[in-house]
Amino acid sequence: MSSGTGASAGGTHDETLVLGVPEIARALTRIAHEVLERNRGAADVVVLGIPTRGVPLARRLATRLVEVEPALDVDALLGSLDVTMYRDDLAHHPTRSIGATHLPPGGIDGKVVVLVDDVLYSGRTIRAALDAISDLGRPRAVQLAVLVDRGHRELPIRPDFVGKNLPTAAAERVRVLLEETDGRDAVLIEGAVL
């Protein structure tokens, strides 16, 4: 999960709703169409979600790809990519739990891998994902789809597909809530002055 995301249990903060259910659905539908257009279909596409919230987003994206191209199979497109052991901040957060990596049956060699994450912030999660992918195979290309790009990059990483560009202050926190993990769909900014 990207820094500055996730649902925190605890006290309330000043929150501003940025995306609700219909906006998240429209963003994913638009991203699916952009993926299909850019890759001239999805025959060679593999969609890998980065835990935690990137995994349900990847499933939703794969489902939308299949809705447009019914000959595709969600399970043949979809996988997950745990990047925990590739992170450069393990010394600062040693209690991270290690998740599972699941590749589609055809693997990633020669494929176009679309990485899916909830929020793009510093770029460090995606750098870790690129390292993880290089240990798993040799894709033809790697593309990045994020629900929210909040800026503040520390590495030269840029998404190919963005649901919402959301300029934020460094002190603000972007929270992505998804039905599958949090019981509802919403993108919130905590500490926002709007």
In percent, the amount of the chain with pLDDT more than 70 equals 90
Q: Are 158 and 175 in contact (CB under 8 A)?
A: no
The residue written with tokens 């191209």 in the block is 69
Quote the mean pLDDT of the chain. Answer: 91
> Taking 60 as the threshold, does the pLDDT of residue 3 lie above it?
no
Distance of alpha carbon 114 from the chain centroid: 9
> Taking 60 as the threshold, does the pLDDT of residue 168 lie above it?
yes
- Exposure string for 161-183, b = 16+ CB within 10 A, e = fewer: bbbbebebeeebbbbbbbeebbe
Residues with Cβ within 8 Å of residue 159, at least 6 apart in sequence: 120, 144, 145, 146, 149
pLDDT of residue 9: 39
pLDDT band at residue 11 under the 50/70/90 scheme: very low
- The string of pLDDT tens digits covering residues 70-128 is 999 999 999 999 999 998 877 776 666 778 899 999 999 999 999 999 999 999 999 99
pTM summary value: 0.89
